[in-house]
Structure 1
Amino acid sequence: MAFTPTGKHLILGTWHDGAGSFMSSPAQGEPMTVQLGSADLIARAAEAAEEAFLSYGYSPREDRARFLEAIAEEIEARGPEITAIACAESGLPAARIEGERGRTTGQLRLFAAHIRKGDYLDRRHDPALPGRKPLARPDLRMIERPIGPVAVFGASNFPLAFSVAGGDTASALAAGCPVVVKGHEAHPGTSEIVACAIAAAIERCGVAPGVFSLVQGGTREVSAALVTHPLIRAVGFTGSLGAGRALFDLCAARPEPIPFFGELGSVNPMFLLPEAMSARAVAIGSGWAGSLSMGAGQFCTNPGIAIARSDQAEPMIEAAVAALASVGAQTMLTEGMAEAYRRGTDRIAAQPGVTRLFGRPTNDRSAKPYLFHVAAEDFIANPVLSEEVFGPVGLLVTVSSEAQMIALANGFAGQLTATLHMDAGDSALARRLLPILERKAGRVMANGFPTGVEVCDSMVHGGPYPASTNFGATSVGTLAIRRFLRAVCYQNIAIELLPEDLR
């Protein structure tokens, strides 16, 4: 029997109505009635999470690893149903959803393997030195411990990998932290079926049911109630700069401020160096077009800006325009995103010195790609041009000298990624740019396109503000678990009283 979403909230293993409802807005098919979240539901979920922390936060790593693997198995068991619901709600093609589902289960298993190793605990021991002069040293042991209940916000552009059972949830559960998820209004049915998978894993593994709750959204008050609830100890968020900054400010204004790990926005600049452009400008241009239009440009790593020397730009422009001309209208995740994309491309086109190289407008939930050009002087003079427009739009900035390219690099705000397209003869310029770019971005790459984020130990998906609100953190890869841990030092504590992992 096919899964039929109820639109309800999951708290303590049971499904609850809300105080009102709203209608979803799927890309295909009939809308569904979704129960509104509320401050009361958030409070019940947070209290359940705190109660669950008393057992789950102190459970053996092996138990948590098996729980993460059980979630992955339950998601896979619902694979075809998840694909059908997610495609209808998001408008994304089945291949994309299936790939994202594989990433979701893969990162759950990655975290299971990671916590089994135990390296993330960063255990340290300085034995007592009672005879040390002039002062004796006590016995000191340090370990990373889970912080408590974590709030996670489902992301609109990744209904699986950055949502209910996505990277924030997986890393928090791996750390030993219960999770309260606010589902995204764009895909409530997808959120619910994934929550069912987690609930089934909770029952299989005998985990405290308060370890996971799903509260559907619908109002800003739900978000505010979640990040300001005194039992919530940290927040994971992927979304817009405006919404993320508002939630970040709420976290900071709490009587006891908490960390807000928000991924907010990035234009992911690419620097096209002279030797590389001389050798392969056409390939770079067509590759850029493919990357920025992939998935209707709805990726946080979309390479929205490319910087090249003005006397080398023409072949790349021709190749990019030719590639974009074959890209048809693509459905965007929500009607609001489509409207924001139209406003964003109109805003770019209206700026002084900007030339539209390619672009076709739409008036519905779809988007078609745009390509614009501006000289470096006008780009530097107009900060609006360095703001993210979420969708398949690219801006080529042309420079007249290496000094101007370096000045542009220095002028960028924080980014998720920065890219150097270079050949061997570009090493001297790359050597000057790299120290600048590593201060601007969490991931610096060469000769590729940043769309596509490998889930592994060494990945950093974060960066200085406004790319993220915490430049020392990542939301992808095993280092993400550190966001939900804190170091505790035990001084002269008897061995039998210490955490099992520190004995």
Structure 2
Amino acid sequence: MTTTAAELDRFAAAASAAAPIWRASAAPERAGWLRALADALDAAADELVPIADRETRLGAPRLHGEVARTTGQLRLFATVVEEGSFHELIVDDADPQASPPRPELRRMLVGVGPVAVFAASNFPFAFSVCGGDTASALAAGNPVIVKAHSGHPELSRRTAEIAVAALAAAGAPAGSFALVEGREAGNALVQHAAIRAAGFTGSVAGGRALFDLASGRPDPIPFYGELGSVNPVVLTPAAVAARGAELARGLVGSFTLGAGQFCTKPGVVFVPEGSGFEDEVAAVVGAAHGGPLLTDRITGAFPSGIAQLEADPATAVLGFGAETTDGARPVVLTTDAEAVTARPDALLAEVFGPVTLLVRYAGEAALHAALRVVPGSLTATLHAEQDDDVAETLELLQERAGRVLFAGWPTGVAVTWSQQHGGPWPATTSLHTSVGATAIRRFLRPVAFQDAPSRLLPEVLRDEALTLLPHRRNGVLVLP
């Protein structure tokens, strides 16, 4: 099914009409709309999960958990709206004695207007129709038009129907939400004059194409894309000596989780040469299971990605996971830091599926040279012991990722106020997060009002409202 140009124009016109209503909505009202949407999705979970499982083969337990994560995101953003600091309210009082005289200025962040959201394949709820991009855009005070992912079309349509009905029943304006389908419709959506920003989760190639369309408009718009990520991991010799078997089990569990289709999968792991860690991994990977991949395209790309890695003269296959008749079999490959430093484009290309690359390093100089060519990633993980001097290693990891872990493994992203799910290119096209409370910042823009009569100010910038909201006045932070 493909959305026609006339249908897109109709959705865009309705979203444009709804935008001022969303922007002016009071916190209790907007938060209520978000919670109504969350409640409706929870109520429909038993209907939606079987559809999702039929289209994605991710399994009912995983998908039920993902519905809960999705509705939890919506409720988190309802509390963000009510708390109010996302407005970044700032007041500078007039000072006629200043030289030159200073006017009164009041500044805040407001919704940008209708937002395009491109659904992802690997999280059919949490990063799809009503996922984090949609939740944060609505919380910022913007209508949303979602481009459905072709990997789960029936689920997308039914979720959109529930969303439209829930928002309408809660009193949100017509045009608050719509769904479009088809690649041409997606391209047209990001270029439509009514759209003021876009969010995307997907491949580097697809995201770059849409990014270029958004930037090439007569009126360029922000495009917030989450694209590719290899998520480097560094193990120090002391860490392997202290808990090598535990680390091997953790790595195998992480890179095979969800058949290796998490954007935070540890794709490249730097291990000390001669530490025995490769043997530890080989001992446990044989029992690891892969599984079916999400789409035919992803299924077809997995073996070709492995073949490209194997074609490098410096790589070797360490071991395979359990045989499978339905999907991708896990695989671990090895290489060395010098090869990675020399050929990063070939050896550090992301392969979507259950595969990881162990990179042997002999000393910190080799490790740091290789880390300097690792592309931007969503996460970086450092497993070290108390007495390890890892300052330079940590600095290199911080430069390349938005979230640095010191325990555990990167798969799994907590939806919290402080989460950062974004990193340098190609992890994202910006420095913002797509998960957590501050994801709302992507879909806001600053506006300052100079010498405005109180009655014409947005309600949250009036003195009576400021007493109840966090704000800054004349440079001083004021808390309610």
Q: Does the TM-score normalized on the shorter chain lie above 0.5?
A: yes
SS of residue paired to 2:212: helix
Equivalent in 390, 403, 427 of residue 352 of structure 2? 390
Return the offset for 1:499.
0.3
2:46 partner letter: P
Kept in 1: contact 2:335–2:358 (CA 8 A): yes
Q: Is residue 490 from structure 1 mapped to residue 456 from structure 2 by the alignment?
A: no
Report matched runs for 1:134-213 at 5 Å: 134-213=99-178
Kept in 2: contact 1:290–1:323 (CA 8 A): no
2:422 partner letter: G
Return the offset for 1:121.
0.6
Equivalent in 312, 316, 330 of residue 355 of structure 1? 316
Report matched runs for 1:96-135 at 5 Å: 96-132=62-98, 134-135=99-100
1:481 partner letter: I
Kept in 1: contact 2:262–2:411 (CA 8 A): yes
| 1:436 matched residue in structure 2 | 396
Return the offset for 1:337.
0.5
Kept in 2: contact 1:224–1:247 (CA 8 A): yes
| 1:372 matched residue in structure 2 | 333
Return the offset for 1:419.
0.5
Report matched runs for 1:262-281 at 5 Å: 262-281=225-244
Q: Percent identity?
A: 45
TM-score using structure 1 length: 0.90
Return the offset for 1:318.
2.6
SS of residue paired to 2:175: helix
SS of residue paired to 2:289: coil
Q: Is residue 451 from structure 1 mapped to residue 417 from structure 2 by the alignment?
A: no
| 2:365 matched residue in structure 1 | 403
2:116 partner letter: A
Q: Is residue 325 from structure 1 mapped to residue 286 from structure 2 by the alignment?
A: yes
Kept in 2: contact 1:52–1:208 (CA 8 A): yes
Q: Is residue 74 from structure 1 mapped to residue 4 from structure 2 by the alignment?
A: no
Q: Deviations over 1:7-47 (max 9, x none)?
A: xxxxxxxxxxxxxxxxxxxxxxxxxxxx2223332222111
| 1:31 matched residue in structure 2 | none
Report matched runs for 1:59-98 at 5 Å: 59-98=25-64
Equivalent in 287, 296, 300 of residue 339 of structure 1? 300
Q: 1:360 to 1:39 in 2, by over 3 A?
A: farther
SS of residue paired to 1:331: coil
Distance 1:86 1:48 in 2: 29
| 2:198 matched residue in structure 1 | 235
Kept in 2: contact 1:413–1:440 (CA 8 A): yes
SS of residue paired to 1:88: helix
Distance 1:392 1:360 in 2: 9
Distance 1:380 1:327 in 2: 30
| 2:469 matched residue in structure 1 | none
Return the offset for 1:196.
2.1
1:349 partner letter: E
Kept in 2: contact 1:301–1:451 (CA 8 A): yes
Q: Deviations over 1:71-101 (max 9, x none)?
A: 0100011111111111111000111001110
1:117 partner letter: E
Distance 2:412 2:256 in 1: 13
Number of aligned residues: 461
2:266 partner letter: P
SS of residue paired to 1:213: strand
| 1:476 matched residue in structure 2 | 435
| 1:247 matched residue in structure 2 | 210
Distance 2:310 2:417 in 1: 41
Return the offset for 1:302.
0.2
Distance 1:68 1:309 in 2: 49
| 1:8 matched residue in structure 2 | none
Kept in 2: contact 1:289–1:324 (CA 8 A): yes
| Structure 1: tracts of 5 or more residues without a match | 1-34
Kept in 2: contact 1:39–1:221 (CA 8 A): no
Distance 1:142 1:446 in 2: 39
Q: Deviations over 1:206-225 (max 9, x none)?
A: 211201001122xx322210
Return the offset for 1:361.
10
| Structure 2: tracts of 5 or more residues without a match | 463-480
Distance 1:329 1:54 in 2: 48
Return the offset for 1:438.
1.3
Distance 2:118 2:323 in 1: 30
Q: 1:296 to 1:326 in 2, by over 3 A?
A: same
Kept in 1: contact 2:180–2:186 (CA 8 A): no
| 1:302 matched residue in structure 2 | 265
